[in-house]
Structure 1
Amino acid sequence: MTHEITKDFRFDAAHTLIREIVAEGSRRIHGHSYRAQVTLRGTVDPTSGMVLDLGAIEQRLTSARDALDHRFLDEVPDLGPATMENLASWIWRSLRADCPQLVRVTVYRDSAGESCSYWGE
């Protein structure tokens, strides 16, 4: 039987963004509070009763969170423009090797009611 488990982490970060709509404020350095949700899918291990221990997931998320939290996203290597789309795929790439059960990464800006999900390459 297949199950999905999720783990959220939060980070605050600043960035600039070149865009055509609401352009002026986006070009200036500004920040957001983000929530990222990582979803893993798999079968339950009969011994542990878990797809993967949430503590193990927390350990794997630490480096991704540390690379983004209280950072200027324009300077994060391999991110590109700091959009929710690029954040979701960047988090995916940073976790995929250590989380083979990874099926989805969703980045939320809860204060604006916005989100973006990425299902992998």
Structure 2
Amino acid sequence: MNNFSTTCELSQTFFFDAAHTLDRSIETAASRRIHGHTYNAEVFLTGQPDPKTGMVIDLGLVRREVALLRELLDHHLLDEVEGLGLPTLENLCQFIFNKLQPTLPALTSVRVWRTSIGDGCRLSKTPG
């Protein structure tokens, strides 16, 4: 018998296509024009499996909540998404976390990336 405790980390990936503008100091002209990306995202949930169900959380619930969130972002102009703020990768991670955390309290991390240009961001919940 092991003398250590374990936790499981589950994840669910999804994608959305969206357009945005961004006022920044480099790549200014291209960023200010409306342009779009395919964004990939992954949410991570951490915990100990329930002894009765064997699950940290039912992944069906996670998929349902992710689908509802995806409707807010997919094929939208991110500049107009209420509560997002500037459409940066950092703000997208925070937005996704804030939207999902009330119904998915085991949520510990959100990652958003754009494969086509090779950048990404991961936001992790910190203790305290």
TM-score, scaled to structure 2: 0.91
* Separation in structure 2 between the aligned mates of residue 93 and residue 118 of structure 1, nearest angstrom: 11
Considering only CA atoms, is the larger Rg found in Structure 1 or Structure 2? 2
2:74 is aligned, of 69, 72, 92, to 69
* Separation in structure 2 between the aligned mates of residue 10 and residue 42 of structure 1, nearest angstrom: 24
* Separation in structure 2 between the aligned mates of residue 57 and residue 113 of structure 1, nearest angstrom: 27
Q: Match of 1:118?
A: 123
Instruction: Report deviation, 1:120.
Output: 3.5
Q: Secondary structure of 2:108's partner?
A: strand
**Identity value in percent:** 46
* Separation in structure 2 between the aligned mates of residue 74 and residue 120 of structure 1, nearest angstrom: 25
Q: Match of 1:11?
A: 16
TM-score, scaled to structure 1: 0.96
Q: What amino acid maps onto 1:70 in structure 2?
A: H
> C-alpha offsets along residues 54-98 of structure 1, whole Å, 9 cap, x if unaligned?
111001112210000000000000111101000000000000100
2:90 is aligned, of 85, 88, 107, to 85
Decide which structure has greater helix share.
1
Q: Match of 1:44?
A: 49
Unaligned runs of 5+ in 2: 1-5
Decide which structure has greater strand share.
1
Instruction: Report deviation, 1:101.
Output: 0.5
Q: What amino acid maps onto 1:55 in structure 2?
A: G
Q: What amino acid maps onto 2:105 in structure 1?
A: P
* Separation in structure 2 between the aligned mates of residue 120 and residue 72 of structure 1, nearest angstrom: 27
* Separation in structure 1 between the aligned mates of residue 57 and residue 101 of structure 2, nearest angstrom: 14
Q: How does 1:15-26 map to 2 (within 5 A)?
A: 15-26=20-31
Q: Match of 1:94?
A: 99
4+ long deviations beyond 6 Å? none
